Amino acid sequence: GYIGTVPRFIYHLRKANPGIVVVHWCLDTFPSFEKILALDVDAFLTNSRELNQVIFPSHGFQSWELLLAADTSVFRPNPDPSSEYAGVDIVYVGQYSPQKRHLRPMLRETAAFCASGRCNFAIYGNVWGSEWVRNDVGPEIMKHWRGVLPLDDIAELYSNAKIVLGTTMEKQEELGMVNN
């Protein structure tokens, strides 16, 4: 996916390895198509049929459609009472973004539902600790943030949770992308 440091990272990769082939996995439209199309890459992977068949080829890029999937031998309901994630009933893993217009209302409803003690709600992800996010979402949501989830722990967390929340930005929906 795209973050602000991707262009600089690609620059340094190419500088250190002149013959390297760089493929960008385009899982969303953030921050814009213009910035994604401006990346110094040789090809794209995407989980959108429209991006693969229409948009990337029309801009001269080679691309492949690669749908996301989960390894069901790893990602499956498998509560482990000894896990540090035992007891997490509902979880959201992801970065906060105002572009995910359904995210804040969904998290607010979940936090309100769990406030009565009916369930344990946890949020993991980047950016949540910044002041602008704390101000935007409020304390009723922020009290559920538990920090950045170690990448190797995602299967364990998802396997212990009863409900995994996911959000998709409108542009992702329009392009047929499913990312959670």
3-class DSSP state for residue 110? helix
Q: How far is CA 115 from CA 92, 108, 123, 144, 153, in A?
A: 16, 10, 14, 10, 26
Mind listing the pLDDT tens digit for each residue in 145-163? 999 999 899 999 999 999 9
Which regions in the chain score pLDDT beneath 70?
1-3, 168, 179-180
* Beta bridge pairs of residue 164: 91
Q: Is the bond preceding 77 in cis, omega lying within 30 degrees of 0?
A: no
Q: Read off the tokens for 48.
A: 């959108």
Mind listing the pLDDT tens digit for each residue in 91-119? 999 888 887 888 999 999 999 999 988 89
Q: How far is CA 65 from CA 26, 30, 54, 114, in A?
A: 10, 18, 12, 39
**Tokens 């989960």, residue located:** 70
Instruction: Check residue 3 and give its pLDDT.
Output: 67
